[in-house]
Amino acid sequence: MTHGYPDYGVGAPKKTIFPVLDVGELSARLGSPVTFDRRGDVMWFDNFEDTLMRWNSNQAMNGTRLFQTAEAARSGSFSCKMITPNAADTDTYLYRNLPLPVQSKIGLEFSYAMYLQIDYLYAKLRFFERGTRYDYQLRYDRYNRTMAYLNKDGGYTNLDGLVSHSMLYHAWNTIKLVVDYENKKYVRALLNDWSWDLSGIPGEKDTNSYTPALFIEARITNRATGDHYIYLDDVILTQNEP
């Protein structure tokens, strides 16, 4: 489409309809899963309408611990069910490696429905360069209702506020982490209607020999013995975030 107004474009008034000037709004109306936070340009997403073959995990894929399910979905007809091992303080995680993106502000977002006895939920962005690894991670503590970020020393720093959200069946929540990959700093964190400014805060850094890649991860830790789980949906990776 050329720049400027075509003969019958947005400059021509109509009696019955109004034009949609925002492409993000148009995409949302057509069923895009990108509706929580439309900032940034989407470079990859998965809403689990296909198999889990795009992912790796510490649990069996498409089996008893981690599989595509029609039991719940935020968008479409399916989500990913993540079940913890049957022991306290154990993890289930789903991850994917991608090529390193052009240096800009990178966002990782996903939605989840969380159930009882899940202790922590994590969202991680990791950048492997040839001689350095940069880690940025959010941790939601479900019982203490706190959000924390991974600090430069490898520990967690709590953010302000007691963050509660619905634990009802099929009640979806959304978490998002944004990182300035060019300057190697955090930018912001979001959880539903909560937002934190993390501008200028460094993540954890490690020097070693690495193969360049972008690593994204969703992880849960259980609180007690038994099969505990979340539904995961609409994993969205963005670049050029403001």
All structural domains of the chain with their residue ranges = 44-239
**b/e 118-153 (16+ beta carbons within 10 angstroms → b):** bbbbbbbbbbbeeeebbbbbbbbbbeeebbbbbeee
Q: How far apart are the first and last CA of the chain?
A: 25
In angstroms, rounded to a whole number, what is the distance separating the alpha carbons of residues 153 and 170? 36
In angstroms, rounded to a whole number, what is the distance separating the alpha carbons of residues 141 and 116? 12
44-239 classified as CATH 3.40.50.10310:
no
pLDDT of residue 1: 44
Provide the 3-class DSSP secondary structure of residue 162.
coil
pLDDT of residue 166: 82
In angstroms, rounded to a whole number, what is the distance separating the alpha carbons of residues 126 and 97? 9
pLDDT of residue 198: 98
Low-confidence ranges of the chain (pLDDT < 50): 1-2
In angstroms, rounded to a whole number, what is the distance separating the alpha carbons of residues 142 and 113? 12
pLDDT of residue 29: 81
Strands 56-57 and 185-191: unpaired
Q: Look up residue 67 and give its two tokens.
A: 């599989």
pLDDT of residue 18: 67
Contacts (Cβ under 8 Å, ≥6 apart) of 11? 5
pLDDT of residue 213: 97
pLDDT of residue 63: 76
**Cα 99 from chain centroid (whole Å):** 17
In angstroms, rounded to a whole number, what is the distance separating the alpha carbons of residues 96 and 119? 23
Q: What are the φ/ψ torsions at residue 25 (nearest 5 degrees)?
A: -65, -40
Q: What is the pTM of this model?
A: 0.90
In angstroms, rounded to a whole number, what is the distance separating the alpha carbons of residues 9 and 120? 50
pLDDT of residue 158: 98
pLDDT of residue 203: 98
